Amino acid sequence: MARALIRSPTLYIFANASHILSLGMLLGASVILDLRLLGAFARLPLNDTAIVLSRVAAVALACAVVTGALLFSVRPVEYAGNTAFLIKILLVLFATANALAVKRSRGWHTMTQGAPVTAPLRFSALASLFLWLGALLAGRWIGFL
């Protein structure tokens, strides 16, 4: 697949655009969900919003990983030596681990059943904001190193 991406600028553009679209969906869903957990958008029903946005974020993350792997395959040695890329991957891993921990937490389960958001869930939402936005910034930084 890497050879096909290298030989076809059009295919590479579609892979890159797909990665950007996936990131937009992931960050959009995550940021809105995190802000809702922190008390913003109070008119949105919390449990329905949380369920829908967490699913959108999960699908978008899977797409971003696949498209990111395709883009990585074009210049693996260069990316593996890029500090910004390594920071981005680390932040994505931490953000994903945080999201998985939240989804498995008692606070998430009770919140989706109508209970109020717990303090640990709010802390996880705040951490999520910093991790995902940090990953976005690190990703943009890749091209400048």
Q: What is the tens place of the pLDDT at every residue in 36-71?
A: 999 999 999 999 999 999 999 999 999 999 999 999
Q: How far apart are CA 25 and CA 20, in angstroms?
A: 9
How much is the pTM? 0.92
As a whole number of angstroms, the distance between CA 118 and CA 138 comes to: 30
Structure tokens at 32: 């809105």
Query: CB-based contacts of 107: which residues, under 8 Å, 6+ apart?
Result: 117, 118, 120, 121
Amino acid identity at 85: F
Residue 64 neighbours by CB distance under 10 Å: 24
d(CA 139, CA 71): 12
pLDDT at 145: 75
For residues 143 and 31, which has the higher predicted lDDT (pLDDT)? 31
Q: Kindly state the greatest CA–CA separation across the chain.
A: 54
